[in-house]
Amino acid sequence: MKKNSIAISNTTLVAVVILFFIFKPVIQNPNSYLYSTSGDAVKSYFNFSYYLKYDSGIKHDGINYPYGDHLQYINSHPLYLQVIKFIDKNIYPVANYGVAILNLSMILSLLLAVPFLFLILRHYTLPRWYAGILSIILLLLSPQFDRIQGHFEMTYAFFLPMFWYFLIQWKKGERRLLWASLLVIEGLIGGFTSAYYAAFFSIFLLGVLAVDSWDSRKNLAGYWKEGLQLLILAILPLLIVKGLVSLTDWVTDRPNNPYGFYVYHANFFSVFLPFTSELKSLLGQHINMNFQWEGRAYVGLPASILAVSIFITGFYNLLSKKKISWRVFKPERKIHSYFFASILILLFAMCIPFKYGFGFILDIIPPIGQFRGLGRFTWIFYYIFTVYTAFFFYRLYRVLKQKGMPLLGIIILVFVIGYWAIDAGTNIRRSTSKLLNKNDKLESFDDEYLGRFKQAGVDSDEFQAIFFLPYANTCGDKLLFEKGLNAFKDAMKCSYHTGLPLVQSFSPRLSFTYALSSIQMLAHPAIHKTRLDDMNEKPLLLVCTKEKMNTHEAWLQSQAEVFWEDKYITLSRLPLQVFHDSHNQWIEEASTQIGNLMGKGKVSTDSVSQSSVLYVDFEENNTDIAFTGNGTKYQKKGSIELLNKTINDSWNAGTYELSFWLYVDSRKFDMPKADLKVTNEKGEEAMEKRLNTRETHDVYNHWVRVSETFELKPGYKLQLHIKGEYISVDDILVRPKNSSIYIKTKDGFGLFNNYPLTLN
């Protein structure tokens, strides 16, 4: 044990030196650099740093104003934050150094993986020198190094090796209560760092349980106690993490069907080929060798050669009567369970069997579908298979040495270590090539940024929150606004230095209600902005970058009073009365126009003939949800023909608007796709367009208004199709673009130009 301690110390010292040279500028000035300036990275820095500086408890008040959000759902290292917050309050003030703490924590987390990798390699009887070299190589080759570019909590490389080492000790049967306690404690710490870690640990144990159960199938009576303990260890941290988060979460409508399960998974190329390789260049034009970066867990050339050898042997045995012995590849008994468990987990990370017709399993076990980054589970296979490879080649060296071929054995070991080192070096260069970005967003001192307010004679305390343009937000992977991601970064900078929270949030797990009310802030004046009901009377601080605005954004910016600007951004005062006045003015104008409309019954028009208006309300369908009335056009899955109408001579030629209301159904990510097609009297295509169903601000009671303008003439045919899952469409209106149309749907409520209007 003493020799192991010395070897661990020496190996760790070497790792310290290597990491020092990789991260030297960061270690010397940890608060001066951002590992990445991407939206995800700056958001992670901001969430951590803002909370550390201004917040406490389980709620992050820096985003989604005025509601905030739960720490567990915003990649903010919730448990670690509490530790740092305690240090800040009781030991030493560190609140202004969130960036430095995150930067150094990621470096330390990488270093902490080395001792556990070493101990695992030593457990499989590998010599200390070999275990020391490979523990460093396997760390530097780790796919978790990639996450330093943005998903910071996923960079903590020590979690999986530590968990595996604790499990190894538990399975030895000695002091099981101690090791079981450590497994549960680490599961909780990991789970309150990221839900993915709790899932990693759970599926790791379930994989081992499945393999051990199969091996003990003839003696299950003698295995059931150990199997039950493994099952409890697998689910207990998950239940505790999920239970505590559910008990403390004030939101009831978070998305639980995120996009990515069938996309962000691994494949054979993502595991056994590097990002770039000569083989991909040679065969890429003939074979689809692409893969999602989320699934990347390259095991290195030695491990890939071993995997290919195993595959070829198996394929040969399948086709040939003369079998090749598998004994050479057979894992040692001590690694047997982990080896085969890692293969099962690899299949899971490759979305097998779900993508091959077994998607119904997600309906039976819904929590599985909540992991959009399925490829991350490949990391378990990475650690286990590389350790197995290290053991395999060293065993091969020993066999060759015993058979009088030590030189060949040494050559093989040199090849393994050398090429793994090359792969590790390549991984480090690629992962850290753009690592040193100046921290010009979340600096330690506020004086420079607050100087802008001082220069303008404005006190930041006069504002209640920050709204930024161009707009950026997401809503459960259904509605998506990405154009304003640059403005988002500037808004986070402003928020961090002023303490003013952001109205927007770019979290895919944000409450549907909250996300939609934020999106609605830029809706047509006809729609009341429900979020304003929960705000105070102070103005908003409008932060705008000098980028192109859409019509809604440009109008809102024009209503604000600019008090500071440079060539990059403007800071403006936006009174909430702007929203109230525009809404009241619209109601007043609409009410006046309705009084002058003509028509009997449901539809009233101005000078336009009713025959030039098409309205479909689907009242013949009795459904659970409807935009107006009691019916809507609903289909769980597939395609619907909503319109197929030939325009007759009673219609005037001109510009028309088609609009309809589409329900934002939380049971499926993405929105249904609507296609509008117009053909002339000869059957020739006059227009065909995919309508915008995902980037629209006109939100009302979980419905969005979809619209498009186009030219129509008598004899033209108008066709509207929609396809997707959980489709609900209501109130289709086709009208001359500049006309005024009122549709009375029930007492006191109607649609004016297909916008909701309540009349007194």
Is the distance from CB of 271 to CB of 298 less than 8 angstroms?
Answer: yes
pLDDT-derived band at 326 (thresholds 50, 70, 90) equals: low
Does the pLDDT value for residue 624 go beyond 90? Answer: no
Helix (H) or strand (E) holding 406: helix 406-432
Half-sphere exposure of 679 (CA within 13 A, CB side): 11
| pLDDT given at position 673 | 96
Counting beta carbons within 10 angstroms of the beta carbon of residue 403, is it exposed (0 to 12), middle (13 to 18) or buried (19 or more)?
Answer: exposed
Q: How far, in Å, CA of 135 to CA of 402, rounded? A: 26
* pLDDT surpassing 80 at residue 31: yes
Mean per-residue pLDDT, 605-614: 82
pLDDT above 80: residue 327: no
The number of residues in the chain equals 760
Using one digit for the tens of pLDDT, what is the confidence trace for 709-732?
A: 999 999 999 999 999 999 999 999
Whole-angstrom distance, CA of residue 67 vs CA of residue 480: 20
Contact 495, 487 (CB under 8 A): no
Is the pLDDT confidence value at 192 over 70?
A: yes
Going by pLDDT thresholds of 50, 70 and 90, the confidence category of residue 678 is: very high
What are the C-alpha distances in Å from 537 to residues 532, 533, 555? Answer: 9, 10, 21
With a pLDDT cut of 90, the percent of the chain lying above it is 71
Q: CATH assignment of 599-758?
A: 2.60.120.260
Give dist(CA 411, CA 26) in Å, integer.
38
What pLDDT shows up at residue 219?
86
d(CA 518, CA 475): 9
What pLDDT band is residue 239 in, cutting at 50, 70 and 90? very high
pLDDT digits (tens, 9 = 90+) for 107-160: 999 999 999 999 999 999 999 999 999 999 999 999 998 889 888 999 999 999
pLDDT (0 to 100) of residue 538: 96
Residue 201 has pLDDT above 70, yes or no: yes
| pLDDT band at 546; cut points 50, 70, 90 | very high
Tell me the pLDDT band of 11, cut-offs 50, 70 and 90: very high
Query: What pLDDT was estimated at residue 604?
Result: 84
Tens of pLDDT, residues 431-452: 888 889 999 999 988 888 899 9
Joined together, the tokens standing for residue 621 give 């369908």
Q: Looking at this protein, which amino acid is placed at residue 308? A: V
State residue 545 phi and psi, 5-degree precision: -85, 165
Q: Which tokens is 663 given?
A: 């329900």
Residue of higher predicted confidence among 71 and 282: 71
Query: What is the pLDDT, as a whole number, of residue 218?
Result: 85
Average model confidence (pLDDT) across the chain: 91
CB 48 within 8 Å of CB 40? no
**If you average pLDDT over each of 112-116, 332-336, 564-568, 594-598, which comes out highest?**
112-116
Tell me, what's the pLDDT at 330? 80
Two structure tokens written together for 141: 């080759």
- Token pair, residue 644, equals 């197929």
Phi, psi for residue 404 in degrees, rounded to 5: 80, 20
In angstroms, the CA 346 to CA 374 distance is 10
Q: What is the 3-state secondary structure (H, E, C) of 199-219?
A: HHHHHHHHHHHHHHHHHCHHH
The position carrying tokens 């010397």 is 28
Comparing CA positions, the residue from 756, 630, 629 lying closest to residue 704 is 756
| pLDDT at position 370 over 90 | no
- The reported pLDDT for the residue numbered 282 is 55
- The reported pLDDT for the residue numbered 747 is 65
pLDDT per residue over 251-305, tens digit each? 999 988 888 888 888 988 889 988 766 555 555 555 666 777 788 899 999 999 9
pLDDT of residue 388: 96
pLDDT in tens, 441-488: 999 888 888 999 999 999 999 999 999 999 999 888 899 999 899 999
Grade residue 310 by pLDDT with cuts at 50, 70 and 90.
confident
* Beta carbons within 8 Å of 592's beta carbon, 6+ residues apart: none
Which of 499, 498, 500, 491 minimizes the C-alpha distance to 449? 498
Domain boundaries, the chain: 158-251, 447-582, 599-758
Q: Which residues lie closer than 8 Å to 175 by C-beta, 6 or more apart?
A: 169
Mean pLDDT over residues 530-556, rounded?
95
Q: Is the dihedral of CA 33, 34, 36, 39 positive or negative?
A: negative
Q: What gap in Å lies between CA 210 and CA 201, rounded to an integer?
A: 14
pLDDT at 64 over 90: yes
pLDDT value at position 165? 97
Residues near 557 by Cβ (< 8 Å), separated by ≥ 6? 469, 542, 544, 549, 570, 572
What is the C-alpha to C-alpha distance for residues 78 and 71, in angstroms, rounded to an integer?
Answer: 6
Predicted pLDDT of residue 751? 93
- The whole-number pLDDT of residue 274 equals 83
Query: 610 versus 12: which is more confidently predicted?
Result: 12
**Higher-confidence position of 267 and 542:** 542
Residue type, 188: L
